[in-house]
Structure 1
Amino acid sequence: MTQSDPSKAQPPKPKNVLFIMCDQLRFDYLSCAGHPSLSTPNIDALASRGVRFNRAYVQSPVCGPSRMSFYTGRYMRSHGSNWNNFPLRVGEPTLGEHLKRLGVRNVLVGKTHMKADDEGMARLGIDPDSVIGVEAAQCGFEPYERDDGLHPTRPGAERPRYDGYLEAQGYPARNPWEDWANSGEGPDGEQQNGWLLAHGDKPARVPDEHSETPYMTRRAIDFMREAKADGRPWCLHLSYIKPHWPYIAPAPYHDMYSADDVQPAIRTDGEKQNPHPVYGAFMDMRVSRNFSREDVRRRVIPAYMGLIKQIDDQLGLLFRFLDDEGLSASTMIVFTADHGDYLGDHWLGEKDLFHEMSVKVPLIVVDPAPAADPTRGTVSEVLVEAIDLAATFIDYFGGQVPRHIVEGRSLMPHLLGQPVAGWRQFVISEYDYSMQDVRRTLGREPAECRLFMLFDGRFKYIHAPGFRPMLYDLASDPDEFRDLGDDPDFQAERARLRDWLLGWALTDHNRITMPDNRIEAYSPAAQLKSGILIGYWDEAELAAAKKGFGLD
């Protein structure tokens, strides 16, 4: 038997990351998370191959600031992009910059909700078409196919390629994304605007294969095919726009679920009686009033479920592609969402506050390495933050997480079943409601419209400047019906959590240009060696100090 020549052995395949994000997907709308009607076998199979983190929280319950935290590994208070289309300031370090140093391509297919800091780039003389300009404008991503959807015809926006694709398939319009992919059709062929909740039961005007989710899946596959020839490791962010509104799905997903599959709303009449002023103002928003109607929920939620089912079906095709191309054994797969959706729970629509269905997200991580075999199919109850993914990816690709920049923590030890000392005691989420009509309802100035959530795994404390706090005990009240923010029996808990929040707020988060190791290397001996002689009396004292430091 001839032994193979080690010098001719095939080099190991480069590591890759497939970072999948759904927009506005609730943590509990998966069958592996216990949904009684919605079947998601491909996502469930993914969970059986990795770790499902059952207590993962985003750093803001709104698309833009949440995603900026995912993409920088930093809290909202640190990166300053507090709302959708608030520019991420030029120079803010991103995951793309960290991975580029490791020789890894950071590639986008889908949505980022990133707004470029055009004024900052102009001030610094950065050409937006240069390599640096593109990286700064695209949140550190190589934009293989960027499509934020939602408002593709807004002033100054580049027309998405998806619009051109729809036109090529025979769906011409100024905005085919809205007029075809996100609209229904009446009995006489009239367009029915998919933005309107009343049309949630209609099929979209394009067939399944031409709708957004399959299109983006194919584009992700296109990239991975092309990347094989390149040979470099990659992190591909496949960012689905759905199940975010407009709540309208193509056939057959539009009527795959019915009103009978709609779960009872998680809410009580008591929540509407003397609510916290901020909570009460959000309950009075139009979207909340409409989703508080049972007929609206029964019309919209089946479409929401159909959009999730479509994503699961497409992920089945995507995972089979990875298997067929031999990529599964070298690709970490992450599945998550940027936030959830109230869908009428707690008398709210959208995702603006901090109840579990808004701020908690699904998170499944599959590490293909044999070392992760002991944790496959497990459910972890550790407290996880969205910013942990940036740290995890840096760690996975062999880099050192820059602790002075990235505020998240690597999940790699949890994936490998290793003990972790001193894991976090709480998670943080933030919200800036200055862009909402709630600000005017409450008579607040923009700088006063901040909310801070701290959750320690049992108590959820919400600091609302200018108002009393909110507090929920999820051990005795898992549905968060009873606000203990002014209950005298819980004063001690509120004080404890407020101190923790203050400690977090006072933690240095702006020293991003000086790494810890350079600070640790600084010493009196180094100062003396540099010739800086502060505080010495005379030559004798100086000579003694040099001798003590071994510098004589």
Structure 2
Amino acid sequence: MLFIITDQQRADHVGFAGNDVVRTPHLDSIAARGTVFDNAWVANPVCMPNRSSIMTGRMPSAHGVIFNDRSLAWGANTHVRQFREAGYRTALIGKSHLQHGMSRNAVGDTGLQAAVDSPYPAGWDTLEHAERYFDGEPEFPDGFYGFDHVELAIDHGSRITGHHMRWALEKGASPEALAVPYTAECPGERRYRDWWQIYRPTYDEELHSSRFVAERTAAFIADAARAGEPWLAWASFPDPHHPMCPPGKWFDRHRPDEMVLPRTVDDPLDAAPEHLQRCARLHPSRQQYWVHPCGLDGDHDLARAAIAATYGMVELIDDCVGQILAAVERSGAHDDTIVVFTTDHGDMMGDHGLLLKGCMHYRGTLQVPMVIASPGRGAKRTSSLASSVDLGPTLLDLAGLAPYDGIWGVSLSPVLDDPAASVRESALIEDDIPDSNRSWGDMPTKTRTLIAGGMKYTRHSTGEDQLFCLDDDPDELTDLSTDYPTVHAAMVGLLADALIEAADTAR
């Protein structure tokens, strides 16, 4: 079983979604023999919460990782644990972000005692701290959330840490070129004039995180095949998350001046929540922190440069996916391997004049690419609703393994057999920012979105809301919340029902 996941990739940044600019032949080949979910959504539009939801099949409010500020509980049950207990060899290669090593400074200290004391030994959640790999590698306890083999690429952009760093050093990389800062001082070539996060790294492309993920995943598959053991591999690419820095030739795959801007790039956001209007005016050159939600402030050239660099990152990932698929072919398991492709969340990438993610509940951040290729089922395309929390339950179902208590997601297997089948009537999306957050400024602390019946309703803790008909208004330009009070009231009721249903009752 091969689970391919990227970080911060829009649903429309793949060829099989109809994008005729970005070239993704290997991802398209998976889509050509699997089921493409054109209506797939996140459980949360931030890295750690949604990754934890994919792993557990539970909503963030249930598993507890509601923001990039806490690690998934060590004892949390996951679908990977079930595969390991069933005799599968399991591996996580690349980005984990189930522990908050790289994001542990994302929020400030409340100055108060904690609500709950950790029951785990000191240091249990430091396995993704980059500094633990500078002089060697930490010893992992038996089973990392169900993975018995772990090789981490901890950081983004041209910053190389974790097992990725040890791997790069063995290939002859110089230490000073690896653990570079997330600032304009990091080494780079042809940096975009107004945003340090678009540049070409100075190292060879063979040292990049995508190559690391491909090489090490292929090695794991080969080892498992030689041992004659069933396997589950998570190939987790840190790209195309910003900084946007495809290495070598991949930086020049697309000319910025040839990139087509989103149709909504000049949306004035007159009726949008106040924080979205502020973000749109916050040019990334004025970011307080490198992951701070921001906007274009009218800078179309910046949007084109970001899109071009991101396409280069996506195409490098696709090339690396080809390496992994070739390893599956060599192992003789091509006709017996379930392949999943998705991402943890999207990116605004200029939609509505916004960039990056966070409290921006438009489809750019909320909708994700999702493909499940299950041997013997053939190619299909479906508009049936799906959520990130459904992936784990689906894999368990396909493998004939029992679920565990607390799973909120549902199996998508019926849709794999019949694309007209429906397994859920709505998809709930949670988004929380701790009150003590010091890097994202004045943003709503809680946001909830419900997708149901072709409608999308979002409510912020500020009391502001938005209502869109995705069927008639896919660009989300016409807010119906005021002019259609009956529809608005119905969606408020459905959101309340979904929140009640999602309240955790697991033992």
Unaligned runs of 5+ in 1: 1-16, 187-191, 514-552
Instruction: Give the counterpart letter for 2:505 in structure 1.
Output: R
Distance 2:462 2:298 in 1: 28
* Structure ranking higher in helix proportion: 1
Change (3 A) 1:498 1:115: same
Residues 438, 168 of structure 1: CA spacing in aligned structure 2 closer, same or farther, 3 A cutoff?
Answer: closer
Cα distance in structure 2, aligned partners of 1:419 and 1:462:
27
Aligned to 2:490: 496
User: Cα offset for 1:419?
Assistant: 7.5
Separation of aligned partners in 1, 2:385 and 2:224 = 35
Partners of 1:51 and 1:87 in 2: how far apart?
32
Report the CA distance between 1:424 and its aligned residue: 1.2
Q: Which of these two proteins has the greater Rg computed from alpha carbons?
A: 1
Q: Please report how far the alpha carbon of residue 411 of structure 1 lies from its aligned counterpart in structure 2 after TM superposition.
A: 1.5
Offset, 1:512: 2.0
Secondary structure, in 3 states, of the residue corresponding to 1:123? coil
Q: Secondary structure at the match of 2:30?
A: helix
Q: Residues 269-297 of structure 1: CA distance to partner in whole angstroms, max 9, x if unpaired?
A: 55332432232243344432347411212
What is the alpha-carbon distance in structure 2 between the residues aligned to residue 151 and residue 441 of structure 1?
A: 27
- Tell whether the 8 Å contact from 2:218 to 2:323 is kept in structure 1 after alignment: no
CA distance 1:324–1:106, shift in 2 (3 Å): closer
Paired with 2:68 and 2:97, the residues of 1 have a C-alpha distance of 7
**Aligned partner of 1:88 among 47, 62, 72:** 72
Measured after TM superposition, the shift of residue 217 of structure 1 is 0.2
CA RMSD of aligned residues (A): 3.3
- By how many angstroms is 1:395 displaced? 0.9
1:415: which partner in 2?
416
Is 2:38 the partner of 1:54?
yes
The counterpart of 1:110, out of the listed 90, 94, 101, is 94
Secondary structure, counterpart of 1:506 in structure 2: helix
- List alignment gaps of at least 5 residues for structure 2: 105-113, 128-138, 285-293
Does the residue aligned with 2:501 lie in a helix, a strand or coil?
Answer: coil
User: Structure 2 vs 1, CA of residues 306 and 407 (structure 1 numbering), >3 Å: closer, same or farther?
Assistant: same
Equivalent residue, structure 2, for 1:398: 400
2:302 — aligned with what? 296
Q: State the 1:42 CA deviation.
A: 1.3
8 Å CA contact 1:85, 1:114 repeated in 2: no
1:480 corresponding residue in structure 2: 476
Confirm whether residue 251 of structure 1 aligns to residue 253 of structure 2. no
The residue number in structure 2 matching 1:221 is: 218
Which residue in the other structure is 1:197 paired with? Answer: 195
TM-score, length basis structure 2: 0.84
- Give the Cα–Cα distance (whole angstroms) in 1 for the partners of residues 269 and 100 of structure 2: 40
Q: Partner of 1:170: helix, strand, or coil?
A: coil
Q: Which protein has greater RCO, CA pairs closer than 8 Å, 6+ apart?
A: 2
Which of 190, 206, 209 is residue 206 of structure 2 equivalent to? Answer: 209
User: Which range is displaced more, 84-93 or 31-40?
Assistant: 84-93
Q: 1:335, CA displacement in angstroms?
A: 0.7
Q: Please give the alpha-carbon distance, in whole angstroms, between the structure 2 residues aligned to 1:135 and 1:78.
A: 25
Change (3 A) 1:25 1:508: closer
Q: Could you state the TM-score of these two structures normalised by the residue count of structure 1? A: 0.77
Structure 1 position 272 matched with structure 2 position 269 = yes
CA distance in 2, matches of 1:496, 1:255: 49
What is the percent sequence identity of the aligned residues? 24
Aligned to 1:308: 314
Task: Find the counterpart in structure 2 of residue 338 from structure 1.
Answer: 344
The 1:265/1:90 distance shift into structure 2, 3 A limit, reads same
The alignment partner of 2:6 has SS state of: strand
* Contact 1:59/1:76 (<8 A) preserved: yes
Q: Secondary structure at the match of 2:81?
A: helix
Task: Find the residue that maps to 2:21 and give its secondary structure.
Answer: coil
- Match of 1:167? 169
Query: Which aligned pairs between 1:63-142 and structure 2 lie closer than 5 A?
Result: 63-115=47-99, 123-124=119-120, 128=124, 134=141, 138-142=144-148
> How far is the alpha carbon of 1:194 from its aligned partner?
9.1
Contact persistence 1:413–1:419 (CA under 8 A): no
Q: Is the 8 A contact 2:281 2:296 kept in 1?
A: no
Deviation at 1:135, TM superposition (A): 6.0
SS of the residue corresponding to residue 165 of structure 1 reads: helix
Alignment coverage as a number of residue pairs: 471
Shift of 1:504: 1.7
**Structure 1 residues 125, 227: closer, same or farther in 2, change over 3 A?**
same
